[in-house]
Chains A and B, each alone.
Chain A
Amino acid sequence: MLYHTLADLPLTRTAIISSLSIQGDLRRRIQDLGFSPGNTVTALFRSPLGDPTAYRVFDTVIALRKKEAKHIGITILEKEDLS
């Protein structure tokens, strides 16, 4: 198990969100989209220019920029953890 931010999540890997380090409206907006502690997120693909990255959360694909993703703390799941 590794502790990182969402910006570090490699493509096709899944993680559980552990914390959010932004405040106020931005925080609520991110949570509304599903990036909330306890939820699972998978990094799917990246823009050809490198940013943003598309993440699957709650069966929806949402694109987030790196500058927002790095505020989302995650615990990357090893491939074996996914049953």
Chain B
Amino acid sequence: MKSNYRIILAGNPNVGKSTVFNALTGLKQHTGNWSGKTVELASGSFRHNNCNFLLEDLPGTYSLISNSPEEDVARDAILFENPDLILIVADATCLTRNLILLLQIMEITPKVALCVNLMDEANRKHICLDLQKLSSLLGIPVLGISAQKRSDIRNLKEFISSVVAGKTSISSISPVRYPSPIEDAICKISPTLPNADFSALQKRFLSLHLLETRKSLPPSFSSLPPPVLSSIEQVVTEAKQTLFRQDISEIRIHDLIAESLFSRSRWITEQCISLSKTNTTTPSAIDRLLTSRWFGIPIMLLFLGLLLWITVSGANYPSSWLMQFFLWLKPYFASCLTFLSLPPFLILLLTDGVYQTVTWVTAVMLPPMLIFFPLFTLLEDLGFLPRLAFNLDRSFQRFGSCGKQALTMCMGLGCNAVGVTGCRIISEKKERFASMITNGFIPCNGRFSLLITLSTLFIGTLFPQNLGSVISTLFLLFLISCSVLLTLFVTGLLTRLWSKTLSAPFSLELPPFRRPKVMQIFIRSLLDRTFHVLLRALRVSVPAGALIWLLANVEVQQTSLLSFFSFFLDPFGKFLGMDGMILLAFLLALPANEIFLPILLMGYLSSGTMIEPANLLTLKEIFVSQGWTILTAINVMMFSLLHFPCATTLLTIKKESGSFLWTVYGFLIPTATAIFVCMITTGCWTLFHILF
């Protein structure tokens, strides 16, 4: 028995494969209750019986017929990585579908075992599976588990261990027999493939592959010497011609193969399953409610509104506590630096600049994210999100996109960087890129607080007390609607300008509502999204803090650089209905939108460091004394809503798109929109004033 084994985990999307992976390896990895989540390969390991098992989690695929990057990755890994075992994870409640992938994999390699997950769900639905029979029909070891039960995971480790050690016998039955014309064709093509490079099973699979003229051929095939390749091609062409003469066109070949797989799969399932009569023609009550004609969308919007409200109101106190804490800590930090005998200039830079910025960003960013993301992940796990995409798809179609963009927009409410990462779920490239670029239009948590502040101060105060708060809330809703409309509009423009290729078919799996594990959600969202994003933001905040301090404290001709630049930007600022200092603050708030207000105050009050206003009313006084009008406030809100995304988001766009050009677009397009909208508002306002 070896001491190291390599295992590959494969299976359909949404079967709990990643839950199994997490449970086996203890690695916290992101999973959500809907398909298309795991796009990258994840690896981990576990020890059992003094052996090391290296585990690789493949993206979920329905079949190995390459159609998307995920399926390519999965297929190549299975074909050519030569693992010690391929463990297929299947969903006990829909075995037939899951068996199709299993059968395809069994066509390639005999080292396969099946893990039937979600047995508890099956029990709840009164689905009874005879796993022994399944095992004998398939000729491979089978184990049934519920990934959420620890004892089952222990069993699974023992199962894997005994399978790789050869303790459970694996009989290699040829899993699927195709109609005889196709089998004949396979017999003709197989021998042409060199024995040295491929095993018998791999040859069979490749022959099928070649018969169907599937687009992407595995690299080990395309790297064969040209004469070998051309002789293979010749045989393939002849085989296809023979089939054509028997009235089997190329399309028909694929159909026959698919039909054989489906019918074999169905047959095997029927032998092993017994279920009490369940009504499968009507949707569940929750589905009926969430997608109902009149209530569906309003209910969903209500949930989202609730999510936002909880985030905003819940985050206030923790934010101020954190700020007070950091303020308390500051002198100690300063004394540490003095202890290190650093020059005073540097100490001031580090405390008033870097420390101030970093702690500010943390205090303002962390609490909302800690509330938003777990709640959001909860909605995700409940299966709410795919239904949202389902409901809104049609409106998004009109703008050249799809319902999945709605989800990325919701994620953007928490943090635009997370929204951009979420765009992975959109399979069509042009739609994905358009969504990434326009995600910044949706106000993230950081900008939300600014919008609330300004709306309350400048719009709400125009009206008496209670009416004022209602009006300012309505104005906020108006702003969000503007964001959404602009997002759709710009997405439509972008997708239309892109090449006119046919879009990939839209399909969305709507998983059943599964009971979420709350603790797991909290931990996962914490590590995955919150800390990840925060770390990225902090990385940018350190140099930014230093820069801001320098600008505020380095003097040129008796004025700080900050005032100097704001003076320079003033004409353009006024043109947009704002002023130079505001524009400068926006520019300097590139690392994190949260620091916009502190920088602005620092500039207005000519202080050497960022400060927090004592209360809202003093804030208003400061603004008014600097010449702010309602127009200024509106423009600032509009600009904040629409301008370039924060540095973290831009970096994320770069990472996700892999293109520098698109990152530049991601900066320019929102900014251009913001400038344009501000010009329009200012123009209209001035016109209005002139006329009346």
Residues of A within 8 A of B (CB): 12-14, 20, 23, 25-34, 36-39, 42, 44-52, 54, 56-65, 68
| Whole-angstrom CA separation of A25 from B296 in the bound complex | 33
A25-B67, A44-B283 provided; 19 other pairs, C-beta below 8 A?
Answer: A12-B282, A23-B251, A25-B504, A28-B65, A28-B67, A31-B258, A36-B262, A37-B255, A39-B262, A46-B291, A48-B391, A49-B391, A54-B291, A56-B281, A59-B280, A62-B508, A63-B506, A64-B505, A65-B397
Given contacts A38-B259, A52-B393, A65-B505, contact A29 B67 (CB under 8 A): yes
Question: B611 at the A/B interface (Cβ < 8 Å)?
Answer: no
Contact between B505 and A54, CB atoms less than 8 A apart: no
CB of B283, distance to nearest CB on chain A (Å): 4
The answer for the CA separation of A67 and B532 in the assembled complex, in Å, is: 40
- The stretch that binds A, out of B22-30, B93-101, B224-232, is B93-101
Knowing A36-B259, A47-B291, say if A63 contacts B510 (CB, 8 Å).
yes
Hey, which chain B residues are within 8 Å of A62, CB to CB? 507-510
Give the total number of A-B pairs whose CB atoms are below 8 A apart.
Answer: 131
Question: Which residue in B93, B262, B294, B394 is a CB contact (below 8 Å) of A51?
Answer: B394
Contact of A68 among B259, B280, B391, B505 (CB under 8 A): B505
Q: In the complex, which of the residues A29, A38, A49, A51 contacts B505, with contact meaning CB atoms closer than 8 Å?
A: A29
B215, B254, B281, B502: the one contacting A42 at CB < 8 Å is B281
B259 engages A52 (CB within 8 Å): no
Complex Cα–Cα for A28 and B258 (A): 9
Q: How far is the CA of A56 from the CA of B512 in the complex (A)?
A: 11
Q: B513 CB to closest chain A CB, in angstroms?
A: 11
Q: A33-B62, A44-B287 are in contact. Are A61 and B505 (CB under 8 A)?
A: no
For A27, A33, A36, A52, the residue with the greatest tally of chain B CB atoms inside 10 Å of its CB is: A52
Q: B96, B251, B390, B393: which has the most chain A beta carbons within 10 Å?
A: B390
Tell whether B395 is near chain A: CB-to-CB under 8 Å.
yes
The 8 closest A-B pairs by CB, nearest first: A59-B94, A49-B394, A58-B97, A63-B508, A61-B510, A48-B296, A32-B62, A45-B283
Q: What A residues does B215 contact at CB under 8 A?
A: 25
Most buried by A among B287, B293, B505: B505
Of B262, B287, B504, which contacts A38 at CB under 8 A? B262
In the complex, B63 has a CB within 8 A of chain A: yes
Residue pair B283, A32 in contact (C-beta under 8 Å)? no
Provide the bound-state CA to CA distance between A79 and B96, in Å.
23
Chain A residues with CB under 8 A of B93: 59
Q: Which of A52, A57, A58, A61 contacts B512 (CB 8 A)?
A: A61
In whole angstroms, how far apart are the Cα atoms of A33 and B504 in the complex? Answer: 14
Closest Cβ–Cβ distance, residue A14 to chain B (whole Å): 6
Q: Which residues of A contact B67 (CB under 8 A)?
A: 25, 28-29, 32
B292 within 8 A of A: yes
Tell me whether B128 is interfacial, beta carbon within 8 Å: no
Distance A30 CA – B259 CA, assembled complex (angstroms): 13
| Distance, CA A46 to CA B291, complexed state (A) | 7
Q: Contact flags (1/0) for B61-97 with A, using CB distance below 8 Å?
A: 0110101000000000000000000000000011111
Q: Does B392 contact A (CB under 8 A)?
A: yes
Q: Are A33 and B507 in contact (CB under 8 A)?
A: yes
Known A28-B65, A45-B287, A52-B390: A59·B97 in contact at CB below 8 Å = yes
Q: How far is the CA of A47 from the CA of B504 in the complex (A)?
A: 20
Q: List 16 A-B contacts (CB under 8 A).
A: A25-B67, A26-B502, A31-B255, A34-B262, A46-B291, A47-B394, A48-B293, A49-B393, A51-B397, A52-B508, A57-B97, A58-B96, A58-B97, A59-B96, A63-B508, A65-B505
Q: Return B256 CB to nearest CB of chain A, in Å.
A: 10
Task: Please give, as numbers and ranges, the residues of chain B lying within 8 Å of A28 by CB-CB distance.
Answer: 65, 67, 254
Given contacts A39-B262, A48-B296, A49-B395, contact A63 B507 (CB under 8 A): yes
Complex contact B281–A29 (CB within 8 A): no
Q: Are A54 and B287 touching (Cβ within 8 A)?
A: yes
Contacts of B62 in A (CB 8 A): 32-34
Report how far A28 CA is from B261 CA in the complex, Å.
14
Q: Is A29's CB under 8 angstroms from B507's CB? A: yes
Instruction: Tell whether B517 is near chain A: CB-to-CB under 8 Å.
Output: no
A20 to B288, CA, bound (A): 29
Query: In chain B, what residue has the closest Cβ to A61?
Result: B510
Q: Which residue of B lies closest to A52 (CB)?
A: B393
Q: Which residues of B contact A29 (CB under 8 A)?
A: 67, 504-505, 507
B490 to chain A, nearest CB (A): 21
